[in-house]
Amino acid sequence: MTAPPNVPPTTLGLAKAHGLFNTVGGLWPLVHRRSFEALFGAKYDRWLQYTVGGLLAGNGVVQLLADDTPSGYRGARNLGISTAITLLTIDLVYVPAGRIRKTYLFDAAMEAAWLAAWAKRTEP
């Protein structure tokens, strides 16, 4: 029995970079709510803010811990893409509706950039 081929370092690096971005983004409102709300607006349902932050950080940790195998890479990729699509959609629906601040368009740009980066990568 042979070991599965490793994933090229630059490809796995994308999963790790996106995981770090998601982890930091998710932890930010949990660790320093005031600075997060200063940029993105006061939140009235703090439990929801903390839930989303925790889920986002958890997604990032899963990406960071992805195995150096094709299946590990695919899992990190799929989680990253689904997370980015969800956040991008929320940003693009609720900013124009005036429900969230325009600063969320910065997040929309980042999520679109992650999707573009993933689109350029082929599966190992």
Within a domain: 4: no
Owning domain of residue 109: 9-120
The DSSP secondary-structure symbol of 96 reads: T
Residue 1: per-residue pLDDT? 44
Within a domain: 98: yes
What is 27-93 written as a DSSP string? HHHHH-HHHHHHHH---S-HHHHHHHHHHHHHHHHHHHT--SSHHHHHHHHHHHHHHHHHHHHHHHH
Within a domain: 2: no
Structure tokens at 107: 């997040």
1 exposed, middle or buried (CB, 10 Å; 0-12, 13-18, 19+)?
exposed
pLDDT tens digits for 17-52? 999 999 999 999 999 999 999 999 999 999 999 999
CA of residue 63 relative to chain centroid, distance: 9
How many structural domains are present in the chain? 1
pLDDT, the chain, mean: 92
Residue 123: per-residue pLDDT? 65
Within a domain: 1: no
pLDDT over 50 at 3, yes or no = no
